[in-house]
Structure 1
Amino acid sequence: MSLMFGLIAALAWGIHDLLVRHVSQRSHLLTALLVVLASGALVVAPVAAAYGDWSAITPRSYGLSIATGACFGLASLGLYGAFAIGPVRLVAPIVGAFPVLSVGWASVNGIPVTVPEFVAVLAIVAGVALVAILSNDTRNRGERAHAITLALLAALGFATTFAFGQAASRLGADFPVILCTRAAAVAAMALLLLATRGGQRPAAALFPPLVLMGVLDTTALGLVTAAGSLDRSEYAAVAASLFGLITILLARVFLHEPMTRGKWGAAVMVFVGIGYLGF
């Protein structure tokens, strides 16, 4: 069941990220992200109120939920920024490589890393490097470097989001944790928007895709978070990381982004490594 949750989340995030590429170039990042996060919170609020076991959530779970929301807001900001300036074929594999960080964290905490796992990590790192090197068609070095930095920030944010979110789910209840996470992310974006005193209201035509993105995003993160109370919850996080490959395929079909054999090979190398770490 954890694997199924992760695969559905990957599909939802793949569609979401294709829409990110569309809206991030037509609106202010913080205001667009605030609309997405807020609409997702409004979707999950009535479900959490009706079906959430609020008596089961603990103070520590509340704290982890807030940390999850802050990390998710940071990850989303990096993701939107990266897609605003970099092509999907460059950004998606880097963001999707966040399981490498999870493996590294496990190693630091004394969990042994096997030789095949180490090889898979090397394949992911090499594939990401190749994607970055080959994706230089229309971007100057400054733009590519900025997009890569933001994508790495998103990968770090997603790795910590899933770790904190599943821990919060194990200590509390799924729907309350999901709602608290969304509320924390909305609060973080609102405070950042106030601090920067920037941003314009998105155009009316962008509100439908932004709301749809909120629904897709909430569904995906909710599924991965809910998997924290299931057997082999790590399967959900790793399977969800395949969203990058789905985004690349969708961008090739709908945005007509060019993909050479070398870029396909590098992208496949990344996602094969990710798949091995999970399965």
Structure 2
Amino acid sequence: MHSLFLGLAAALAWGIHDLCVRVVSQRTGILPAMLVVFATGAILVAATALALGNWQAITYTAAWLAGLSGGIFALASYALYRAFALGPVKLVAPLVSAYPVLSLGMAMLQGQPVGPGHWLAVAAVVGGVGCIAVFAKDGGSSPVSLQAAVWGLAGAIGFALTFAIGQSATQAGAELPVLIVTRVTAVLILLGLALLARAARLPSREVLPLLVLMGALDAVALGLVIYSGTLPRPEFASVSASLFGLVTVILAWLILRESMNRTQWISVAITFGGIAYLGF
């Protein structure tokens, strides 16, 4: 149950973060924006990890897995930014939120008991979020883009791998050192990509405060999900964190005025039902 609540808190943070992604991706370059977001998150995590982290407990295996998780997280986040830059929230958010199917599949391969009820709950979560997009009205949003869909699915696969590998890293070593290794690796990979693309520049001042906020939200959310690796059934945190897509769609309805009809609200209830089942 604790893993479930950590995932729900992460979903709220990521939902707000992704709404901001939709805004900043229209105003500045993707790689410069991501560098500020990831650097902010790394600084916040480093301050906590250096003060409270049990660095003696980290092992070579944990450090290697944390670095791999950070690299995949950087690429998955890039896919997320690209998807939101190309397509509307109601298309991209449900696609990215489809990663719980992969998360539970990997948990099953690792020997965790995953029953039919769990798969039905995941189907409710993913299907409920997906129905929000299927039953969306056509007006008032940017055109559906196949390219955005491909980037969204790439992000979903990347996030599933990030969470599974990151949780394995915490099981092999202390969670705070794992988080800082994950963050530093992600920043270095993004910096390398920015240098190759000649995009290593500071974004405009008008979006900097928003990017710093996004970095804080992202650091908190990823920290909660990876920390759940020290708790029973950590895959539940990954599944419940998938509600970030639902949070993003609802915030887009409230703030960006994307339409939500009655069928979509029913889908919201189905999604929450699936999450509630996973808590028992």
Contact 2:122 2:239 in 1 (8 A): no
Deviation at 1:108, TM superposition (A): 5.1
**Residue of structure 2 in register with 1:211 after alignment:** 212
Cα distance in 1 for residues equivalent to 2:75 and 2:182: 13
Deviation at 1:88, TM superposition (A): 1.5
Cα distance in 1 for residues equivalent to 2:277 and 2:83: 26
1:107-122 matches, within 5 Å, as 107=108, 113-122=114-123
Deviation at 1:266, TM superposition (A): 4.7
Q: Deviations over 1:16-38 (max 9, x none)?
A: 11111110111111111111001
Deviation at 1:268, TM superposition (A): 5.0
Counterpart residue identity of residue 9, structure 2: I
Corresponding position: 1:189 with 2:190: yes
Q: Deviations over 1:103-145 (max 9, x none)?
A: 333455666653334444555565566555445545545x2x1
Contact 2:103 2:239 in 1 (8 A): no
Contact 2:97 2:126 in 1 (8 A): no
Deviation at 1:236, TM superposition (A): 2.1
1:1-279 matches, within 5 Å, as 1-107=2-108, 113-123=114-124, 126-127=127-128, 130-131=131-132, 133-135=134-136, 136-137=138-139, 138-140=141-143, 143=145, 145-198=146-199, 201-266=202-267, 269=270, 272-273=273-274, 276-277=277-278, 279=280
- Seen in structure 2, the aligned counterparts of structure 1 residues 30 and 187 have a Cα distance that, compared at 3 Å, is same
Q: Quick check: 127-136 or 21-30, which moved more?
A: 127-136
Question: Normalising by structure 1, what TM-score?
Answer: 0.88
Cα distance in 1 for residues equivalent to 2:161 and 2:209: 30
Percent of pairs with identical residues: 49
Unpaired segments ≥5 residues, structure 1:
none
SS in 2 for 1:201: coil
Counterpart residue identity of residue 251, structure 1: A
SS in 1 for 2:161: helix
- Seen in structure 2, the aligned counterparts of structure 1 residues 33 and 268 have a Cα distance that, compared at 3 Å, is farther
- Seen in structure 2, the aligned counterparts of structure 1 residues 52 and 129 have a Cα distance that, compared at 3 Å, is closer
- Seen in structure 2, the aligned counterparts of structure 1 residues 266 and 107 have a Cα distance that, compared at 3 Å, is same
Unpaired segments ≥5 residues, structure 2:
none
Counterpart residue identity of residue 19, structure 1: C
Question: Normalising by structure 2, what TM-score?
Answer: 0.88
Equivalent residues, number = 277
Cα distance in 2 for residues equivalent to 1:44 and 1:192: 22
Counterpart residue identity of residue 96, structure 1: S
- Seen in structure 2, the aligned counterparts of structure 1 residues 111 and 46 have a Cα distance that, compared at 3 Å, is closer
SS in 2 for 1:204: coil
Q: Quick check: 151-160 or 222-231, which moved more?
A: 222-231
Q: Deviations over 1:48-102 (max 9, x none)?
A: 1111111110000010001110111111111111111222122112212211112
Cα distance in 1 for residues equivalent to 2:111 and 2:235: 17
SS in 2 for 1:203: coil
Counterpart residue identity of residue 158, structure 1: F
- Cα RMSD of the aligned pairs, angstroms, is 2.4
SS in 2 for 1:26: coil
